[in-house]
Chain A
Amino acid sequence: MALIRVEHLNKSFASRHGSISIMQDISFEVTDSDFLAIVGPSGCGKSTLLRLIQGLDHPTSGQIFFRDQPVDKVCSQMAMVFQSFALFPWLTVSQNVAFGLEALGWPAERIGPQVERYVTVTGLDGFQEAYPRELSGGMRQRVGLARALAVEPAVLLMDEPFSALDPLTAESLREEVLQLWRDPQLPPEAVLLVTHNIEEAIELADRVIVLSRRPGQILAQVAVDLPRPRARKSAAFYDLTDRVYSLITQGGTALAAGARAEGAGHTG
């Protein structure tokens, strides 16, 4: 069943110089148990797309459906993890994780155990009373992750979540996110990851949507059939990375040639 359906999405902004089109005719689906990555050059509207899907913003035309219901306000079944962590400096780790639950109106007796559960799941045990400024970047993003998971969303939206972290921390966090996604007893069902790091997309996702330069259009949807854990140094991995990279750099020419869904293993 398609959890999310995006149909013919267009987004443009009004500015002094007239109308600027950010996205054109974006259509795709996210099924449950999907791990979908969206890559593209900077400015192609990937982050805007994520906000449109969550309902933080409204498209100029086109529709977004979550479980067949149109998304016209912020969807509480999706939760976002931010590139800059977006933790509230005056709240402790526990209070930050409880943030979404408070907004949903959960009673205090239920919030406590729920927060504890996800604090432990994300490896933050012992830091419940710490403030974000006392944590390193990796720990802060874990708090962001815990906060998103605590509301038990069906879809986890991630906006370049690892780009502000050093490579080692980012790698361990990626593995954690994969584990969480694969665990049937833990949210989320599906993950939508926006990133400019192509290797990261190939390593994590089942399907990679490649966007063109502004105005962003879907160049291709590349399926990644490699078994997990994925070896970065394998030939198949390199091929896929190359393919996506050339799709992005060729941009307009790829569009002119017609976007075709391509499977793994094809070369050239």
Chain B
Amino acid sequence: MTEATMVRPVTRGSSSSAVAESDADRDHDANRARPSKNFLPSAGRSLLIYAALPVVAGALLFADTGTSISGILAYFPSATVDVSYSFLRMLAAYALSLGFSLAYGYYAATHRGGERVMIPVLDILQSVPILGFFPFAVAVLAAATPGSFLGPNFASVFLIFTSMAWNMVFGVYESLKTLPGDLKEAADTFGLRGYLLFRRVLFPATVNRLVYNSVLSWTAGWFFLVEAEIFTTNNSNALQGIGSYLSFAASASNGGKFLAGIIVLVVVIALLDFAVWRPLGHWAERFRYDQAPAGDTGEIAPGRDASGRFRRATSFVTRGVRTGVSRITVPFVQLAAITVRPGRVSSARRKSVIYYLSLGSILVVVWLLLIALVVAVIGVYTAPIQGSVRAQIAMVPLAIGASTLRVVAAYAICLAIALPLAMHIARSSRANRVGLPIIEVIASFPATALFPVIIFQLLPYLSPNGAAVLMLMTGMMWYLFFNILSGIRSLPPDLVEAARAYGLKGRKFFRRVLLPGIFPALITGSVTAFGGGWNTLIVAEYLSVGSGQSLSVLGVGQLIDIGNGLGQTGYALMATALFALVGTVIAINELIWKPLYRRAATQYRYD
């Protein structure tokens, strides 16, 4: 979905009656009502790219296995069935996320006491690489519901929910907290309350962020769903879905089957884009706060539509960050929530019984979960641990180091690609017109779908570590790219002009203006990229399907997978590897990212 499809609705009432306004007013209204861009060409362009994807993929990957068209067609029915299963999981997870984010975000935004707990909790939750827990969840649930299909499916739906929900919650929370003060006062002054307040003010304020974040959530969701489904092929619990379908196809070197699966997946994603997201995006435009100045001050110079550029920038900001969309603002929000606001008269709203009841029951549930977790962990470690497993547990520190190295390496390569690419796209309008739609379509396609090919077909040509790093890159690249791009685009144009006026060019411009200017966006992109990397580990480091190639490199993901394969005896290994992973992530968060955020908040802000 490109911003070029956002046509401003042209609504003017009958303009026949004479209205008492100056001529300047009338001209300005005419200017505003002009639609900004034409819908069709970019939609058509996206369609072409969607169509080109499988063709290119097929040509590249199966050039030598003489697959025929009829061969591919024969697999369409089974591919469609499997894609439908995946789609149903996505739908269930999305419905859960939507309900959760509306409730949680609204609650956190309107209850000061709750906010102090709920937002830091989310902060922690969203930095936990949830995919690491997936094997554990599947194992537990499969043991609890033997033979049934419910266990792994619940686990996968819950997993997708966690990859979708956090950024949507933050979207709701932030849009409510940044509701303009004068709108709040207007609602108060006219006595708007309850359902009417929700319908006329609170819900519309969240629509914009919800729609954009839904798009991002689905993109992330596809990625992790396919990854989860691929992972389940490691043992007998294979979830029927596109991920397992592609895995089996690739391990059997069945080019026709694989291509059929890719094509169906692309069709579904393209359908969603055209039939759901674009219309929703059009509708959501209505809920934007107008950025253009009121009144007739300032001509809009031809070719430099300031409000248009800002619009594009904001749309990229919201679109480019996938999970944890508010990474940059969460520290601000938390700081703001802590500082004392002078003069805020404590509202006369008495805390109702319902408030205390719900808060109490939530606390009770959380306590019970924590206790269950502790009991489970104790149970795992007090059970006798086999010698072989013990030996593997001893490798955990080494494994953490290896995994971290791989993620860092993948990050470095992504940065080396994303930075110049983003700069090029931002600078050249031609690259922007041609390249950006391509990148957007590619980014909306789950790269994990290609993992089976990378593992089973390309492994002979890449070292195992190389393949692992390549797969990690696919999970990190777009977070980094879109954030950097939005950072470059939201550089205040007057700062750039000032730099040029003083003759700053090339490397100096890069060092003194560009890099500091995009610093916050760079941090956001890096944090989310690392998050994506951690989450890709369990498939990037270990995969073994059927009789084809298998991948196994020393790392945390690998150990988790091995432990998973050992069944009950492997629980201790899984748990240890998992704790090590979570501990590392939190440590890096606290020691590296948070201080960098603080610097971004103080030194690199634009006000």
**B14 to chain A: which residues have CB within 8 Å?**
126
Which B-chain residue is minimally distant from A51 (CB atoms)? B185
Interface of B is mostly: loop
Q: What 1/0 flags go to B293-304 for Cβ under 8 Å of A? A: 011110000000
Given contacts A76-B191, A100-B190, A131-B11, contact A137 B295 (CB under 8 A): yes
Selected contact of A134 from candidates B33, B297, B343, CB within 8 Å? B33
Selected contact of B193 from candidates A103, A125, A134, CB within 8 Å? A103
Q: Which of B24-32, B237-245, B558-566 contacts A (4 or more CB under 8 A)?
A: B24-32
Q: Give the CA-CA distance A76 to B193 in the complex, in Å.
A: 13
**A89 to chain B: which residues have CB within 8 Å?**
286-290
Q: Is A193 an interface residue (CB 8 A)?
A: no
Q: Give the CA-CA distance A167 to B343 in the complex, in Å.
A: 34
By the criterion CB–CB under 8 Å, are B185 and A82 in contact? yes
**B21 to chain A: which residues have CB within 8 Å?**
123, 136, 138-139, 169
Selected contact of A136 from candidates B20, B288, B295, CB within 8 Å? B295
Q: Is A264 an interface residue (CB 8 A)?
A: no
Which residues of chain A in 81-97 are interfacial with respect to chain B, using CB atoms and an 8 Å cutoff? 82-92
Q: Give the CA-CA distance A13 to B24 in the complex, in Å.
A: 43
Which A-chain residue is minimally distant from B12 (CB atoms)? A130
**A261 to chain B: which residues have CB within 8 Å?**
none
**B207 to chain A: which residues have CB within 8 Å?**
90
Q: Is B345 an interface residue (CB 8 A)?
A: yes
**A164 to chain B: which residues have CB within 8 Å?**
294-295
By the criterion CB–CB under 8 Å, are B204 and A140 in contact? no
By the criterion CB–CB under 8 Å, are A82 and B11 in contact? no
By the criterion CB–CB under 8 Å, are A86 and B9 in contact? no
Q: Is B186 an interface residue (CB 8 A)?
A: yes
Interface of A is mostly: loop
Q: Is B340 an interface residue (CB 8 A)?
A: yes
**A14 to chain B: which residues have CB within 8 Å?**
340, 342-343
**A127 to chain B: which residues have CB within 8 Å?**
12-13, 19
Given contacts A88-B201, A164-B295, contact A131 B12 (CB under 8 A): no
**A92 to chain B: which residues have CB within 8 Å?**
11
Which A-chain residue is minimally distant from B293 (CB atoms)? A137
Q: Is A2 an interface residue (CB 8 A)?
A: no
Selected contact of A80 from candidates B185, B196, B296, CB within 8 Å? B185
Q: Give the CA-CA distance A172 to B17 in the complex, in Å.
A: 19
By the criterion CB–CB under 8 Å, are A99 and B16 in contact? no
Q: Is A165 an interface residue (CB 8 A)?
A: yes
Question: Smallest CB–CB gap between A196 and chain B, Å?
Answer: 17
Q: Give the CA-CA distance A128 to B287 in the complex, in Å.
A: 18
Which A-chain residue is minimally distant from B289 (CB atoms)? A89
**B498 to chain A: which residues have CB within 8 Å?**
none
Question: Smallest CB–CB gap between A243 and chain B, Å?
Answer: 31
Question: Smallest CB–CB gap between B196 and chain A, Å?
Answer: 6
Which residues of chain A in 131-179 are interfacial with respect to chain B, using CB atoms and an 8 Å cutoff? 131-140, 147, 151, 164-166, 168-169, 172, 176
Q: Give the CA-CA distance A134 to B342 in the complex, in Å.
A: 37
By the criterion CB–CB under 8 Å, are A134 and B29 in contact? yes
Q: Is A124 an interface residue (CB 8 A)?
A: yes
Q: Is A16 an interface residue (CB 8 A)?
A: yes
Q: Is B590 an interface residue (CB 8 A)?
A: no
Given contacts A20-B342, A138-B21, contact A151 B190 (CB under 8 A): yes
By the criterion CB–CB under 8 Å, are B22 and A169 in contact? yes
Which A-chain residue is minimally distant from B33 (CB atoms)? A134
Selected contact of B29 from candidates A22, A103, A136, A169, CB within 8 Å? A136
Q: Is A208 an interface residue (CB 8 A)?
A: no
Q: Is B112 an interface residue (CB 8 A)?
A: no
By the criterion CB–CB under 8 Å, are B200 and A102 in contact? yes
By the criterion CB–CB under 8 Å, are B191 and A130 in contact? no
Which residues of chain B in 340-397 are interfacial with respect to chain A, using CB atoms and an 8 Å cutoff? 340, 342-343, 345, 348
By the criterion CB–CB under 8 Å, are A99 and B11 in contact? no
Selected contact of A133 from candidates B22, B204, B292, B345, CB within 8 Å? B292
Q: Give the CA-CA distance A100 to B192 in the complex, in Å.
A: 8
Question: Smallest CB–CB gap between B19 and chain A, Å?
Answer: 6
Q: Which of A54-62, A107-115, A220-228 contacts B (4 or more CB under 8 A)?
A: A54-62
Q: What 1/0 flags go to B183-212 for Cβ under 8 Å of A? A: 101101111110010001100100100000
Q: Is B178 an interface residue (CB 8 A)?
A: no
For B14, B287, B294, B297, the residue with the greatest tally of chain A CB atoms inside 10 Å of its CB is B294
For B14, B25, B33, the residue with the greatest tally of chain A CB atoms inside 10 Å of its CB is B25
By the criterion CB–CB under 8 Å, are B185 and A166 in contact? no
Given contacts A82-B182, A136-B28, contact A103 B191 (CB under 8 A): yes
By the criterion CB–CB under 8 Å, are A131 and B286 in contact? yes
Q: Is B65 an interface residue (CB 8 A)?
A: no
By the criterion CB–CB under 8 Å, are B189 and A136 in contact? no
Q: Is B428 an interface residue (CB 8 A)?
A: no
Q: Is B15 an interface residue (CB 8 A)?
A: yes
**A123 to chain B: which residues have CB within 8 Å?**
19-21
Q: Is A259 an interface residue (CB 8 A)?
A: no
**B290 to chain A: which residues have CB within 8 Å?**
89, 132-133
By the criterion CB–CB under 8 Å, are B345 and A99 in contact? no
By the criterion CB–CB under 8 Å, are B19 and A15 in contact? no
Given contacts A133-B290, A136-B29, A164-B295, contact A58 B345 (CB under 8 A): yes
Q: Is A4 an interface residue (CB 8 A)?
A: no
Question: Smallest CB–CB gap between B178 and chain A, Å?
Answer: 14
Question: Smallest CB–CB gap between B99 and chain A, Å?
Answer: 22
Selected contact of A126 from candidates B19, B24, B200, CB within 8 Å? B19
Q: Enumerate 7 A-B pairs (CB-CB under 8 Å) in ascending A order.
A: A56-B185, A58-B345, A89-B290, A131-B286, A135-B29, A136-B25, A165-B295
- Chain B contacts to A: CB under 8 angstroms: 9, 11-17, 19-22, 24-25, 28-29, 32-33, 180, 182-183, 185-186, 188-193, 196, 200-201, 204, 207, 286-290, 292, 294-297, 340, 342-343, 345, 348
- Chain A contacts to B: CB under 8 angstroms: 13-16, 20, 22, 51, 54, 56-58, 74, 76, 79-80, 82-92, 99-100, 102-104, 123-140, 147, 151, 164-166, 168-169, 172, 176
Given contacts A126-B15, A128-B13, 17 further A-B contacts (CB under 8 A): A20-B342, A57-B345, A82-B185, A82-B186, A88-B200, A89-B288, A90-B287, A102-B200, A123-B19, A126-B13, A129-B13, A130-B12, A130-B13, A136-B24, A140-B294, A164-B295, A176-B20
The 9 A-B pairs with the shortest beta carbon distances in the complex, nearest first, are: A13-B343, A15-B342, A137-B294, A137-B295, A133-B290, A100-B190, A86-B182, A86-B186, A90-B204
